[in-house]
Protein backbone atom coordinates (compact mmCIF):
# COMPACT_ATOMS: atom_id res chain seq x y z
CA UNK A 1 0.00 0.00 0.00
CA UNK A 2 2.73 2.51 0.94
CA UNK A 3 4.59 1.82 -2.34
CA UNK A 4 1.41 2.40 -4.34
CA UNK A 5 0.83 5.70 -2.54
CA UNK A 6 4.38 6.87 -3.27
CA UNK A 7 3.95 5.96 -6.94
CA UNK A 8 0.71 7.93 -7.06
CA UNK A 9 2.37 11.07 -5.71
CA UNK A 10 5.36 10.80 -8.07
CA UNK A 11 3.15 10.16 -11.12
CA UNK A 12 0.92 13.13 -10.32
CA UNK A 13 3.83 15.52 -9.95
CA UNK A 14 5.58 14.25 -13.07
CA UNK A 15 2.38 14.16 -15.11
CA UNK A 16 1.44 17.67 -14.04
CA UNK A 17 4.64 19.13 -15.42
CA UNK A 18 4.38 17.11 -18.65
CA UNK A 19 0.73 18.01 -19.33
CA UNK A 20 1.15 21.67 -18.54
CA UNK A 21 2.50 23.84 -21.33
CA UNK A 22 2.88 26.95 -19.20
CA UNK A 23 5.16 28.34 -16.51
CA UNK A 24 4.25 26.82 -13.13
CA UNK A 25 3.88 28.35 -9.69
CA UNK A 26 3.72 26.22 -6.53
CA UNK A 27 2.21 26.39 -3.07
CA UNK A 28 3.29 24.42 -0.01
CA UNK A 29 0.72 24.23 2.76
CA UNK A 30 1.50 22.83 6.24
CA UNK A 31 -1.38 22.25 8.65
CA UNK A 32 -1.72 20.98 12.20
CA UNK A 33 -4.56 20.69 14.68
CA UNK A 34 -7.35 18.55 16.07
CA UNK A 35 -9.19 15.66 14.43
CA UNK A 36 -12.09 13.46 15.61
CA UNK A 37 -12.98 10.13 13.95
CA UNK A 38 -15.85 7.70 14.37
CA UNK A 39 -16.22 4.29 12.71
CA UNK A 40 -18.78 1.51 13.06
CA UNK A 41 -19.56 -1.75 11.29
CA UNK A 42 -21.95 -4.66 11.71
CA UNK A 43 -22.36 -8.19 10.34
CA UNK A 44 -25.26 -10.65 10.09
CA UNK A 45 -25.76 -14.37 9.59
CA UNK A 46 -26.24 -15.72 6.03
CA UNK A 47 -29.71 -17.00 6.90
CA UNK A 48 -30.83 -13.55 7.94
CA UNK A 49 -31.48 -14.19 11.65
CA UNK A 50 -30.14 -12.29 13.40
CA UNK A 51 -29.72 -9.70 10.68
CA UNK A 52 -27.27 -7.91 13.01
CA UNK A 53 -25.19 -10.49 14.83
CA UNK A 54 -22.28 -8.32 15.92
CA UNK A 55 -21.69 -4.55 15.92
CA UNK A 56 -18.46 -2.66 16.63
CA UNK A 57 -18.30 1.10 17.24
CA UNK A 58 -15.26 3.33 17.71
CA UNK A 59 -16.38 6.66 19.15
CA UNK A 60 -14.77 10.05 19.74
CA UNK A 61 -11.30 9.14 18.50
CA UNK A 62 -9.36 12.31 19.31
CA UNK A 63 -6.16 12.80 17.32
CA UNK A 64 -3.36 15.28 16.84
CA UNK A 65 -3.16 15.71 13.08
CA UNK A 66 -0.40 16.90 10.72
CA UNK A 67 -0.99 17.58 7.02
CA UNK A 68 1.09 18.68 4.06
CA UNK A 69 -0.22 19.78 0.67
CA UNK A 70 1.52 20.75 -2.56
CA UNK A 71 -0.34 22.64 -5.30
CA UNK A 72 0.83 23.48 -8.82
CA UNK A 73 -0.82 26.04 -11.10
CA UNK A 74 0.41 26.81 -14.62
CA UNK A 75 -0.22 30.10 -16.37
CA UNK A 76 -2.27 28.17 -18.97
CA UNK A 77 -4.70 27.15 -16.19
CA UNK A 78 -3.55 23.56 -15.63
CA UNK A 79 -3.70 22.59 -11.93
CA UNK A 80 -2.56 19.65 -9.79
CA UNK A 81 -2.40 18.95 -6.07
CA UNK A 82 -1.22 16.19 -3.77
CA UNK A 83 -1.79 15.97 -0.01
CA UNK A 84 -1.03 13.65 2.88
CA UNK A 85 -1.93 13.74 6.56
CA UNK A 86 -1.21 11.65 9.64
CA UNK A 87 -2.82 11.55 13.07
CA UNK A 88 -2.06 9.77 16.36
CA UNK A 89 -5.10 8.71 18.39
CA UNK A 90 -4.82 10.14 21.90
CA UNK A 91 -8.21 9.02 23.29
CA UNK A 92 -11.44 7.26 22.35
CA UNK A 93 -13.62 4.26 23.17
CA UNK A 94 -14.81 1.08 21.49
CA UNK A 95 -18.08 -0.78 22.08
CA UNK A 96 -18.58 -4.39 20.96
CA UNK A 97 -22.16 -5.76 21.09
CA UNK A 98 -23.59 -9.14 20.04
CA UNK A 99 -27.27 -10.02 19.54
CA UNK A 100 -29.49 -13.09 19.33
CA UNK A 101 -32.47 -11.23 17.82
CA UNK A 102 -33.06 -9.16 14.72
CA UNK A 103 -32.57 -5.38 14.66
CA UNK A 104 -30.28 -5.23 17.71
CA UNK A 105 -32.63 -7.08 20.06
CA UNK A 106 -31.81 -9.69 22.72
CA UNK A 107 -28.29 -8.36 23.35
CA UNK A 108 -26.28 -11.09 25.05
CA UNK A 109 -22.80 -9.52 25.08
CA UNK A 110 -21.45 -6.00 25.44
CA UNK A 111 -17.94 -4.78 26.16
CA UNK A 112 -16.34 -1.34 26.22
CA UNK A 113 -12.62 -0.79 25.67
CA UNK A 114 -10.03 1.96 25.41
CA UNK A 115 -9.25 2.93 21.79
CA UNK A 116 -6.21 5.18 22.19
CA UNK A 117 -2.88 4.23 20.63
CA UNK A 118 -4.06 3.90 17.02
CA UNK A 119 -3.35 6.15 14.05
CA UNK A 120 -4.99 7.45 10.89
CA UNK A 121 -3.71 8.75 7.57
CA UNK A 122 -4.94 9.95 4.19
CA UNK A 123 -3.24 10.52 0.83
CA UNK A 124 -4.90 12.22 -2.13
CA UNK A 125 -3.94 13.54 -5.57
CA UNK A 126 -5.88 15.26 -8.35
CA UNK A 127 -5.65 17.09 -11.70
CA UNK A 128 -7.82 19.90 -12.98
CA UNK A 129 -8.02 23.14 -14.89
CA UNK A 130 -8.71 26.55 -13.44
CA UNK A 131 -11.64 28.63 -14.73
CA UNK A 132 -11.99 32.29 -13.81
CA UNK A 133 -15.72 32.81 -13.14
CA UNK A 134 -15.37 36.39 -11.98
CA UNK A 135 -12.46 38.73 -11.42
CA UNK A 136 -11.71 37.28 -7.95
CA UNK A 137 -13.49 33.89 -8.12
CA UNK A 138 -11.75 30.78 -9.50
CA UNK A 139 -13.26 27.31 -9.91
CA UNK A 140 -11.18 24.19 -10.60
CA UNK A 141 -12.99 20.93 -11.55
CA UNK A 142 -10.96 17.92 -10.40
CA UNK A 143 -10.40 14.23 -11.14
CA UNK A 144 -8.41 12.38 -8.49
CA UNK A 145 -7.62 9.28 -6.48
CA UNK A 146 -7.29 8.84 -2.73
CA UNK A 147 -6.26 6.41 0.03
CA UNK A 148 -7.57 6.50 3.61
CA UNK A 149 -6.69 4.24 6.54
CA UNK A 150 -7.79 4.02 10.17
CA UNK A 151 -5.73 1.77 12.46
CA UNK A 152 -8.00 1.17 15.47
CA UNK A 153 -7.20 -0.37 18.84
CA UNK A 154 -9.06 -2.15 21.66
CA UNK A 155 -7.35 -2.30 25.07
CA UNK A 156 -8.26 -2.27 28.78
CA UNK A 157 -11.72 -3.70 28.10
CA UNK A 158 -14.59 -4.35 30.48
CA UNK A 159 -17.39 -6.86 29.86
CA UNK A 160 -20.70 -5.35 31.02
CA UNK A 161 -23.18 -7.90 29.61
CA UNK A 162 -22.67 -11.61 29.02
CA UNK A 163 -25.82 -13.66 29.54
CA UNK A 164 -24.11 -16.95 28.63
CA UNK A 165 -21.86 -16.75 31.70
CA UNK A 166 -22.65 -13.77 33.99
CA UNK A 167 -19.75 -14.67 36.31
CA UNK A 168 -17.27 -13.51 33.62
CA UNK A 169 -18.57 -9.92 33.70
CA UNK A 170 -15.81 -7.48 34.56
CA UNK A 171 -12.31 -6.62 33.39
CA UNK A 172 -11.08 -8.43 30.24
CA UNK A 173 -7.55 -9.64 30.94
CA UNK A 174 -4.99 -9.29 28.15
CA UNK A 175 -7.18 -7.51 25.60
CA UNK A 176 -5.02 -6.05 22.81
CA UNK A 177 -7.04 -6.31 19.59
CA UNK A 178 -6.91 -4.18 16.46
CA UNK A 179 -8.93 -3.38 13.37
CA UNK A 180 -7.62 -1.73 10.20
CA UNK A 181 -10.06 0.02 7.86
CA UNK A 182 -8.79 0.80 4.35
CA UNK A 183 -10.57 2.92 1.74
CA UNK A 184 -9.39 3.82 -1.75
CA UNK A 185 -10.83 4.88 -5.07
CA UNK A 186 -11.29 7.65 -7.66
CA UNK A 187 -13.19 10.86 -7.08
CA UNK A 188 -14.66 13.90 -8.81
CA UNK A 189 -14.79 17.33 -7.27
CA UNK A 190 -13.68 20.92 -7.37
CA UNK A 191 -11.52 23.48 -5.59
CA UNK A 192 -12.77 27.06 -5.29
CA UNK A 193 -10.80 30.19 -4.41
CA UNK A 194 -12.31 33.61 -3.72
CA UNK A 195 -10.20 36.73 -3.07
CA UNK A 196 -12.40 38.48 -0.52
CA UNK A 197 -9.91 41.34 -0.08
CA UNK A 198 -6.40 42.07 -1.27
CA UNK A 199 -5.06 40.15 1.76
CA UNK A 200 -7.81 37.55 2.48
CA UNK A 201 -8.58 34.41 0.46
CA UNK A 202 -11.56 32.10 1.09
CA UNK A 203 -11.15 28.44 0.03
CA UNK A 204 -13.61 25.58 -0.47
CA UNK A 205 -13.32 21.98 -1.69
CA UNK A 206 -15.94 19.36 -2.55
CA UNK A 207 -15.16 15.76 -3.54
CA UNK A 208 -17.43 12.77 -4.32
CA UNK A 209 -15.58 9.45 -3.91
CA UNK A 210 -16.20 5.97 -5.32
CA UNK A 211 -14.82 3.83 -2.48
CA UNK A 212 -13.49 0.29 -2.23
CA UNK A 213 -13.32 -0.86 1.39
CA UNK A 214 -11.29 -3.57 3.09
CA UNK A 215 -11.17 -4.25 6.82
CA UNK A 216 -8.77 -6.53 8.69
CA UNK A 217 -9.48 -7.58 12.28
CA UNK A 218 -7.02 -9.13 14.72
CA UNK A 219 -8.83 -10.37 17.85
CA UNK A 220 -5.94 -11.43 20.09
CA UNK A 221 -8.12 -13.36 22.57
CA UNK A 222 -9.77 -15.56 19.93
CA UNK A 223 -7.66 -18.71 19.70
CA UNK A 224 -10.09 -20.24 17.17
CA UNK A 225 -8.99 -17.73 14.51
CA UNK A 226 -5.92 -18.86 12.56
CA UNK A 227 -5.81 -15.65 10.48
CA UNK A 228 -7.13 -12.08 10.65
CA UNK A 229 -10.76 -11.90 9.55
CA UNK A 230 -11.56 -9.79 6.47
CA UNK A 231 -14.29 -7.40 5.41
CA UNK A 232 -14.80 -6.22 1.82
CA UNK A 233 -17.45 -3.89 0.40
CA UNK A 234 -18.05 -1.07 -2.08
CA UNK A 235 -19.44 2.32 -1.24
CA UNK A 236 -19.05 6.06 -1.61
CA UNK A 237 -18.01 9.12 0.32
CA UNK A 238 -17.81 12.89 0.39
CA UNK A 239 -15.03 15.25 1.44
CA UNK A 240 -15.71 18.90 2.29
CA UNK A 241 -13.20 21.57 3.21
CA UNK A 242 -13.58 25.27 4.07
CA UNK A 243 -10.76 27.64 4.92
CA UNK A 244 -9.35 31.14 4.94
CA UNK A 245 -5.82 32.44 4.29
CA UNK A 246 -4.47 35.84 5.29
CA UNK A 247 -1.48 37.23 3.42
CA UNK A 248 1.52 38.21 5.56
CA UNK A 249 3.86 39.10 2.70
CA UNK A 250 4.25 38.36 -1.00
CA UNK A 251 4.84 34.63 -0.43
CA UNK A 252 3.59 33.78 3.07
CA UNK A 253 0.01 33.19 4.26
CA UNK A 254 -1.48 32.01 7.56
CA UNK A 255 -4.97 30.66 8.03
CA UNK A 256 -7.37 28.01 9.31
CA UNK A 257 -9.16 25.06 7.67
CA UNK A 258 -12.08 22.83 8.65
CA UNK A 259 -12.35 19.41 6.93
CA UNK A 260 -15.19 16.89 6.94
CA UNK A 261 -15.10 13.32 5.54
CA UNK A 262 -17.94 10.79 5.48
CA UNK A 263 -17.65 7.33 3.84
CA UNK A 264 -20.08 4.39 3.78
CA UNK A 265 -19.88 0.90 2.26
CA UNK A 266 -22.66 -1.72 2.33
CA UNK A 267 -23.66 -5.26 1.32
CA UNK A 268 -20.20 -6.76 1.47
CA UNK A 269 -18.58 -9.96 2.72
CA UNK A 270 -17.36 -10.96 6.16
CA UNK A 271 -14.77 -13.74 5.85
CA UNK A 272 -13.56 -15.56 8.98
CA UNK A 273 -10.74 -18.10 9.14
CA UNK A 274 -11.65 -20.63 11.82
CA UNK A 275 -10.08 -23.66 13.45
CA UNK A 276 -12.74 -26.33 14.01
CA UNK A 277 -12.14 -29.52 15.99
CA UNK A 278 -12.91 -32.72 14.07
CA UNK A 279 -11.78 -36.21 15.13
CA UNK A 280 -9.52 -34.69 17.80
CA UNK A 281 -7.84 -32.48 15.18
CA UNK A 282 -8.09 -28.77 14.46
CA UNK A 283 -9.24 -28.29 10.87
CA UNK A 284 -8.98 -24.83 9.22
CA UNK A 285 -12.15 -23.67 7.46
CA UNK A 286 -13.17 -20.42 5.78
CA UNK A 287 -16.60 -19.09 6.78
CA UNK A 288 -18.40 -16.27 4.92
CA UNK A 289 -21.28 -14.22 6.26
CA UNK A 290 -22.99 -10.90 5.53
CA UNK A 291 -21.10 -7.67 6.06
CA UNK A 292 -23.99 -5.23 6.37
CA UNK A 293 -22.42 -1.80 6.59
CA UNK A 294 -19.39 0.23 7.61
CA UNK A 295 -19.46 3.98 8.16
CA UNK A 296 -16.55 6.31 8.88
CA UNK A 297 -16.69 10.03 9.59
CA UNK A 298 -13.91 12.48 10.45
CA UNK A 299 -13.83 16.18 11.18
CA UNK A 300 -10.69 18.25 11.69
CA UNK A 301 -9.89 21.87 12.57
CA UNK A 302 -6.38 22.90 11.52
CA UNK A 303 -4.11 25.93 11.53
CA UNK A 304 -2.37 26.54 8.20
CA UNK A 305 0.97 27.98 7.08
CA UNK A 306 1.10 28.51 3.31
CA UNK A 307 4.17 29.41 1.22
CA UNK A 308 4.11 30.11 -2.53
CA UNK A 309 7.12 30.01 -4.87
Q: Which residue has the higher pLDDT, 92 or 47?
A: 92
Share of the chain above pLDDT 90, in %: 84
Q: What is the mean pLDDT of residues 83-96?
A: 97
Q: Give the domain extent around 22.
A: 2-308
pLDDT at 102 (0 to 100):
95
pLDDT at 135 (0 to 100):
82
SS (H, E, C) the chain: CHHHHHHHHHHHHHHHHHHCCCCEEEEEEEEEEEEEEEEEEEEECCCCCCCCCEEEEEEEEEEEEEEEEEEEEECCCEEEEEEEEEEEEEEEEEEEEEEEECCCEEEEEEEEEECCCCEEEEEEEEEEECEECCCCEEEEEEEEEEEEEEEEEEEEEEEEEECCCHHHCEECCCCEEEEEEEEEEEEEEEEEEEECCCCEEEEEEEEEEEEEEEEEEECCCCCCECCCEEEEEEEEEEEEEEEEEEECCCCEEEEEEEEEEEEEEEEEEEEEEEEEEECCEEEEEEEEEEEEEEEEEEEEEEEEEEEEC
> The domain that contains 212 carries what CATH number?
2.40.128.90
Average pLDDT, the chain: 93
Share of the chain above pLDDT 70, in %: 93
* Count of structural domains, the chain: 1
Report the C-alpha gap between 85 and 80 in whole angstroms. 17
Least confident of 2-16, 132-146, 231-245: 2-16
pLDDT at 9 (0 to 100):
53
pLDDT at 21 (0 to 100):
53
Instruction: Tell if the pTM clears 0.75, that is, is over it.
Output: yes
Q: Where does the pLDDT of residue 48 fall: very low under 50, low under 70, confident under 90, or very high at 90 and above?
A: confident
Amino acid sequence: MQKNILKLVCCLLAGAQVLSAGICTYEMDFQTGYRRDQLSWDIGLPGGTPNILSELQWKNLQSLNLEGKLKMLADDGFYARVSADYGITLSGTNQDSDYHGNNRTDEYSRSIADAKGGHVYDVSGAFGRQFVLKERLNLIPLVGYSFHEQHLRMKNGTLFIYTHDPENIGHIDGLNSSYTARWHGPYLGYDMNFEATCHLQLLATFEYHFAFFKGLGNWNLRDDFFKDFEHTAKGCGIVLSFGALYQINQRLFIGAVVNYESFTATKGRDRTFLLVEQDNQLIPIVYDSHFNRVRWTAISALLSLNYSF
